[in-house]
Structures are given as C-alpha cells and as structure tokens.
Amino acid sequence: MTNILQLNSSVKGAASRSTLLGDELAGRLLQQHPGAHLTVRDLVAQPVPVVDHVALRALSTAAADRTAEQQALVAAHDALIAEVQAADIVVLGAPMYNFAVPIQLKAYLDAIARSGVTFRYTATGPEGLLRGKKVYVVFTRGGVHRGTASDSQTPFLETMLGFLGMTDVDYVYAEGLDMGPAAQAAGLAAARQAIADLFADQAALRGAA
C-alpha cells in the first residue's frame, strides 16, 4: 500500500491556497494509487515546538537517564520521524511569509533532522537517509519571485530535503496571488496546469514502460 503524507503549513486555515492546491494534488495521487493511505498533518493546528536548549538536552541525554518531560519530547520527535519514514510520497504546502517558509514548517524540519536517523555524516560528507520518496512542494506567493533573488524558499527546501535524502522533488508555483483578482486567477490556473502536467507526464511514462 502506498503511504502519502500531506504537510500543511499555512496559518490561514480554510482560506489557505497552499492547502487548497495541496489537497488537489493529493486527490490526484489517490486516484493514481487506489487504496493508498493519506495522512494529513496540519503544522499550525498541531505545531511542533521549535528546537531549543531544552530539546537539545533531551535529545543528547541517554534514554535511560531522561526525565519524564524529556521522554515525552523525544517521543514526539520520534513519532514525526516514523511518520515521514513510512511515507512513500510527501506533499508539502509552503506559503511564502516574508520571503521564507513558515516557522511552523522550519520547526518540523528541525524536528525530523536527526543525526544517525534521518541523515548521517560519512568520510565523504553528509548522507540523507530518507531515500526513495517522491516529494511534491506547492509554493504560494503573494508576489512573483520564482527564478529571482527574492526566492529563498526553493533553494532552502532543495538543500534541506536533499540533505535528508529526498532528492526526487517536483515544485509547483502559484504566484501573484495578492496582486489583484486577475493575477490571482492566473496564478492559481498556472499551478493547476503544472499539477495536471506532472500527472500527464507520469501517465505517459507508465504507458511507455
């Protein structure tokens, strides 16, 4: 059975356009993989605490020596890691807030990045251990940033996901969403077309196989 993990990071709730597009992309995946299991994690409704000195102390303390509070914190991180380890496909909604990913998403990535578990250092450099996954990232932006110096999101996620071993990544962009009704409609239409193209390409590849 195919496991799909959808991660939503918008603070806008039902009004979120990254979640809307992520839902549409996940819907196509469910059609493509009958019987797949979809897990949806809302990183705003279920926030992951930022990694601070308390978390670092808990993670660096031997399991037998941890306090009850430290055990609970590590267990919460372990659950997040187990969830992404079990996923075959990850759908990540990433709105742009002040030229960066939401802090809720950054906290999640910090929580699942654990040396010896999701990555390791070798004599030739770091090696990601979350390999063999397909990842789709849906970006939503109020302005137009793709391919410009103001797009810090794409290189950050490309680096972070790659560091963890997730290198098979497709990006979908919905831009200009706060530049007026016409621009918003065009931005959403472009994103939906990009999603349609991704699945059309995959269908063509399956047909040729």
Q: Domain holding 184: CATH number? A: 3.40.50.360
CA atoms of 50 and 61, how far apart (whole Å):
18
Query: Strands (DSSP E) along 49-179, which ranges?
Result: 89-95, 119-122, 125-128, 134-140, 168-174
DSSP-based three-state secondary structure for 128: strand
- Structural domain count of the chain: 1
Tokens in use for 91? 């759908």
Tokens in use for 44? 């705003």
What DSSP designation does 49 have?
A: P
H/E run at residue 73: helix 68-86
Q: Which amino acid is at 94?
A: A
How far is CA 68 from each of CA 56, 60, 65, 114, rounded to the nearest angstrom? 15, 15, 10, 21
How many CB atoms within 10 Å of residue 152? 14
Instruction: Burial-class residue 154 by CB neighbours within 10 Å (0-12, 13-18, 19+).
Output: middle
What pLDDT tens digit does each residue of the chain (209 aa) get? Answer: 899 999 999 999 989 999 999 999 999 999 999 999 999 999 999 999 998 999 999 999 999 999 999 999 999 999 999 999 999 999 999 999 999 999 999 999 999 999 999 999 999 999 999 999 999 999 999 999 999 999 999 999 999 999 999 999 999 999 999 999 999 999 999 999 999 999 986 655 455 55
pTM, two decimals, is 0.91
Q: Are 49 and 15 in contact (CB under 8 A)?
A: no
At 209 the pLDDT is: 53
At 164 the pLDDT is: 98
Domain limits for position 169: 3-208
CA atoms of 16 and 142, how far apart (whole Å):
12
